[in-house]
Structure 1
Amino acid sequence: MNSASPVAVAMGRNMQIRPATSAANLADPTKILPQQRLNRPVAPHLTIYRPQVTWVLSSLNRITGFALSGSLYLFASAYLVAPLFGWHLESASLAAAFGALPLIAKVLIKSTVALPFTFHSLNGIRHLMWDLGRGLTNQQVIKTGWTVVGLSVVSALAIAFM
């Protein structure tokens, strides 16, 4: 048995001590902490836990937010510098270029934009409900998570085929 008796703990006879630092490391005090960190065990975190809808959707919410805002900033920047480079990013030329694409390409492009947008929007509503103190039990969180996934897919397909 690895645990000490309560009497040993109370008397101070069960003190854990750190092994003495070697004399070689004492020459350079900046290397003591990194060396001690190398001897520490690494927490297993993600490798031992089964994926759950809560943390998967939380990660996807952050990823979709980053992708949507990054795309917006990229397009807005390109739109601002377009006259300098002779690019035609005005609405009429974009609509004409998109209209010339085959149907499958239109559906794929619209799906690529619609799915992250609908997911991030619906999951944002879910988070706003949590801010109001509603739906915070484990069962409700799982149920609303899968509801967001289902509604996101259905609404993204509806938008893509419009």
Structure 2
Amino acid sequence: MLSQKVAQQSLRRLAVQQPYAMRWSLMTAASPVAVVIGRNIQTRYAATSTNTTEPTKLLAEQRLRRPVSPHLTIYRPQITWYGSAVHRITGLMLSGPLYLWATAYLASPLLGWHLESASMAAAFGALPLLAKVGLKGFFAWPFTYHCLNGLRHLMWDLGRGITNKQVIQTGWTVVGASAAAALFLALL
């Protein structure tokens, strides 16, 4: 109710102060009949080009004129690069064999393989000591690196340790701690 009174008062002021503006706005406004008939439809003309070159040739020319972004080859390698790449590689090193072993474990009854825990433990126990340490180290280092670097990423998500100095320090800390933890797990 209040909004209607405010609108009516503003229209009265406009009619009194600028009578021609009121008439002009009413003349240019579309009437309901014009809307129904379709005479007030706004049209936009299509932008056309007289260029008759082949579209693929035109795209090739445009690509040649685009600026080239800097590539990895012009930057000095940093621990953050290596850390990111190794984090992804260790994730693949852990998940790939796990998927293969899980698939083989599920298919083992059909194929007559013995992949139950007792036979796996017996097979691992029969290996020489150096092979046991090497096999455990092969899986321990990607596991520890991926876990510790994942904790580092979680800290970044919390907004901690994001300065350049801290990122470099934590990167080398993760490398050292993962090597020590992997050695400890391999020698257990």
Larger radius of gyration: 2
Give the match for residue 33 of structure 1: 59
What corresponds to 2:144 in structure 1?
118
1:142 equivalent among 165, 168, 187: 168
Task: Give aligned-pair identity as a percent.
Answer: 67
Aligned equivalents of 1:74 and 1:35: distance in 2?
47
Residues 91/35 of structure 1: CA separation in 2 closer, same or farther (3 Å cut): farther
Task: From 72, 78, 83, give the equivalent of 1:46.
Answer: 72
Distance 1:94 1:140 in 2: 43
Instruction: Identify the match of residue 64 of structure 1 among 74, 90, 105.
Output: 90
How far off is 1:58 after superposition?
Answer: 0.9
The residue matched to 2:114 in structure 1 has which SS?
Answer: coil
Q: Which residue is 2:132 aligned to?
A: 106
Which residue of 2 is the match for residue 17 of structure 1?
none
Instruction: Give 1:80's aligned residue.
Output: 106
Where do 5+ consecutive residues of structure 2 fail to align?
1-50
Q: Report the Cα offset of residue 36 of structure 1.
A: 4.4
Tell me which amino acid in the other structure corresponds to 2:141: L
Q: Give the drift of 1:34.
A: 4.0
User: Which residue identity is paired with 1:64?
Assistant: T
Counterpart check, 1:130 vs 2:149? no
When the two structures are aligned, how many residues end up with a matched partner?
138
Distance 1:40 1:133, change over 3 A: closer
Q: After the TM superposition, which of the residue ranges 118-127 and 63-72 deviates more from structure 2?
A: 63-72
Q: Distance in 1 between matches of 2:61 and 2:129?
A: 60
1:119 to partner: Cα distance = 0.1
State the SS of the aligned residue for 1:108.
Answer: helix
Q: Give the letter aligned to residue 94 of structure 1.
A: M
Q: Where in structure 1 are there 5+ consecutive unaligned residues?
A: 1-21
Q: 1:33 to 1:144 in 2, by over 3 A?
A: same
Write out per-residue CA displacement over residues 83-132 of structure 1, whole angstroms, 9 at most, x where no aligned residue. Answer: 11111111111111111111111111111100000000000111111111
> Could you say what the CA RMSD is over the residues aligned between the two structures, in angstroms?
1.9
1:96 aligns with 2:126: no
Separation in structure 2 between the aligned mates of residue 90 and residue 127 of structure 1, nearest angstrom: 36
Larger displacement relative to structure 2 (80-89 or 28-37)? 28-37
Secondary structure at the counterpart of residue 133 of structure 1: coil
